[in-house]
Amino acid sequence: MLNYKLRLYPTKEQELVLEQALDGCRWVYNYFLSIPPMSEYDMNYALTELKEEHPWLYNYHSKMLQMVSKQVAAARKTVKGRLSYRKNDDFNAFTYNQSGFRIENDGLHLSKIGSIKIVLHRQPVNIKQVTVCRKNGKWYAIVGCEILRKRYSTIVYHRPVGIDVGIAKFAHDSDNHVVENPQFLTKMLRPVKRAHRRVSRRQVGSNNHRKAKHMLARLYERINNKRRDFLHKTSAYYCSHYDLIFLERLRVANLTRNHKLARKILDASWSTFKVMLQYKANRVAEVEPAYSSIECSCCGHPVPKSLAVRTHRCNSCGLVIDRDYNSAMNHLQNGLKLLRLPVERREVTPVEIARQSRKQEAHGFIRA
Ligand SMILES: [Zn+2]
């Protein structure tokens, strides 16, 4: 299932109706919490009886209310101890599953609610589920689509690439293409820090504290949107140019502990990037990062260097290239080896080609 998040623009009246839908679901949710726990199936059965007792429930789409039983059942499984009753501002989503929705022109039509203006930056197909959610006063539809994979008789990998992700640059690949770190990291972090300070300075519970928290949430939301957009574009670039992608295995868990905000966002970005590549590309394989920054991608000679050294200089074959470029070529070669595909040591820059051809016989350099 692939989820698209699309912005909704309800009118004032529609917003009231959406809020009523949230209230209806919340009422059912809290009702199920007030009675002894039962299975999802039994809750759905209880729901039909509940409607007889409270006929106003007929004003809601029945599948939407059934999704509440699913929600309660899932929450009971994951939350240890008692579930707590939901108040107005911590119940922000309802779901239409399988039926009761359709997208027409630029409207999302929901049964019993009506047609709400939607911005389609993508055309979703095979929609299985629509979740409407409220976040920071805005409304979104999360549209779940079933993915139908293209069928190939046999997958052929014509265009492999190795990608090295890093801190200084977002990515450097084995074709010497560099993706710089996105602008929002440098531009938007200062206001975020300022907003954090403002929140901590205001008195907890005061109106100003609430406002400052809202501001901070908005800033994070904007960064997150830009981040996702950047990652979608970058992963789309790689998937349209290559069909076999090698990445180093990221050890995000040990990195995330105690470091700066910018690094936290980058860490999160690398893993999202990998996930996006995995569902967009034919094949993504992870290689062990162990020696990729040390080994010479041309001759295999080890060239140890500290993180501060940005250039790879090999004394054995004379190769001089960017450190990350060298790593990316190692990822590519290690990946091809891992998949038992023919490894081809690729040409580097025009300057190096002459040098390489001199070494070619000595190192068994193969060209396609
Ligand atoms: Zn070398």
Per residue in 28-44, pLDDT (tens digit) is: 999 999 999 999 999 99
The pLDDT-based confidence of 354 (bands split at 50, 70, 90) is very low
pLDDT at position 259, please?
60
Range of the domain at 13: 2-145
Q: Which residues lie near ion ligand 1 (Cβ < 5 Å)?
A: 296, 298-299, 301, 314, 316-317, 319
What the block records as the tokens of 305 is 């260097």
With a cut of 70, say whether residue 357 has pLDDT above it.
Answer: no
- How many structural domains is the chain composed of? 2
CA of 325 to the centre of ligand 1 (A): 13
Q: Are residues 28 and 70 in the same domain?
A: yes
Query: Could you tell me how many helices (H) and strands (E) the chain has, helices first?
Result: 10, 14
DSSP state of 87: P
With a cut of 50, say whether residue 352 has pLDDT above it.
Answer: no
Q: Are residues 119 and 40 in the same domain?
A: yes
Q: Are residues 204 and 108 in the same domain?
A: no
Q: Is 186 a domain residue?
A: yes
Measuring CA to CA, which residue among 335, 327, 246 is closest to residue 292?
A: 327
Last residue of a domain, one of 232, 257, 287: 287
Q: Are residues 117 and 68 in the same domain?
A: yes
pLDDT over 90 for what percent of the chain? Answer: 50
Count of C-beta atoms within a 10 Å radius of residue 257: 7
Q: Is 324 a domain residue?
A: no
CA distance 227 to 156: 32
pLDDT at position 150, please?
56
Q: Is 306 a domain residue?
A: no
CA of 250 to the centre of ligand 1 (A): 26
* Chain position carrying tokens 């939901």: 86
With a cut of 60, say whether residue 361 has pLDDT above it.
Answer: no
Q: Are residues 195 and 252 in the same domain?
A: yes
What the block records as the tokens of 6 is 């699309």
Q: Are residues 130 and 242 in the same domain?
A: no
pLDDT over 70 for what percent of the chain? Answer: 88
CA distance 68 to 48: 13
Q: Are residues 141 and 205 in the same domain?
A: no
The tens digit of pLDDT for each residue in 241-250 reads 998 899 988 7
The tens digit of pLDDT for each residue in 67-99 reads 999 999 999 888 877 888 998 888 999 999 999
With a cut of 80, say whether residue 182 has pLDDT above it.
Answer: yes
pLDDT at position 251, please?
61
With a cut of 70, say whether residue 353 has pLDDT above it.
Answer: no
CB 359 within 8 A of CB 317: yes
CB 83 within 8 A of CB 37: no
CA distance 28 to 36: 14
CA of 358 to the centre of ligand 1 (A): 12
* Beta-strand relationship, 178-179 and 171-173: antiparallel
Q: Are residues 139 and 205 in the same domain?
A: no
The pLDDT-based confidence of 269 (bands split at 50, 70, 90) is confident
CA distance 295 to 146: 43
pLDDT at position 7, please?
94
CA of 294 to the centre of ligand 1 (A): 10
Classified as helix, coil or strand, 39 is coil
* Chain position carrying tokens 């140019």: 241
With a cut of 50, say whether residue 180 has pLDDT above it.
Answer: yes
- Note the Cα 129 to chain centre separation in Å: 19
CA of 286 to the centre of ligand 1 (A): 24
Count of C-beta atoms within a 10 Å radius of residue 270: 19
Q: Is the dihedral of CA 310, 316, 318, 319 positive or negative?
A: negative
CA of 327 to the centre of ligand 1 (A): 13
Answer yes or no: pTM beyond 0.85. Answer: no
Q: Are residues 48 and 174 in the same domain?
A: no
For the chain, the average pLDDT equals 85
Q: Is 223 a domain residue?
A: yes
pLDDT at position 342, please?
72
pLDDT at position 347, please?
45
* Chain position carrying tokens 């038992």: 340
What the block records as the tokens of 322 is 């960017």
With a cut of 60, say whether residue 358 has pLDDT above it.
Answer: no
Q: Is 141 a domain residue?
A: yes
The H-or-E segment that residue 341 falls in is: none
CA of 323 to the centre of ligand 1 (A): 12
CA of 352 to the centre of ligand 1 (A): 11
Q: Is 13 a domain residue?
A: yes
pLDDT at position 345, please?
54
Classified as helix, coil or strand, 5 is strand
Who wins on pLDDT, 81 or 204?
204
Q: Are residues 201 and 265 in the same domain?
A: yes
Measuring CA to CA, which residue among 175, 165, 158, 166 is closest to residue 297?
A: 175
Q: Kindly report which listed range (14-18, 254-258, 276-280) carries the lowest average pLDDT score.
A: 254-258
CA distance 319 to 363: 13
Classified as helix, coil or strand, 168 is coil
CA of 168 to the centre of ligand 1 (A): 24
CA of 299 to the centre of ligand 1 (A): 4
Last residue of a domain, one of 287, 317, 336: 287
CA of 151 to the centre of ligand 1 (A): 41
With a cut of 50, say whether residue 170 has pLDDT above it.
Answer: yes
CA distance 103 to 288: 45
Q: Are residues 20 and 134 in the same domain?
A: yes
Which range has the top average pLDDT, 75-79, 107-111, 241-245, 294-298?
Answer: 107-111
Last residue of a domain, one of 287, 309, 342: 287
CA of 320 to the centre of ligand 1 (A): 9
The pLDDT-based confidence of 299 (bands split at 50, 70, 90) is confident
* Chain position carrying tokens 């206001």: 191
CA of 293 to the centre of ligand 1 (A): 12
Q: Are residues 206 and 262 in the same domain?
A: yes
With a cut of 60, say whether residue 368 has pLDDT above it.
Answer: no
CA distance 140 to 242: 33
* Beta-strand relationship, 283-287 and 244-248: parallel
Mention every residue, 6+ apart, whose C-beta is less than 8 A from residue 96: 61, 63, 64, 67, 110, 111, 129, 130, 131, 132
The tens digit of pLDDT for each residue in 115-167 reads 999 998 878 888 999 999 999 889 999 999 887 665 544 556 778 899 998 87
pLDDT at position 154, please?
57
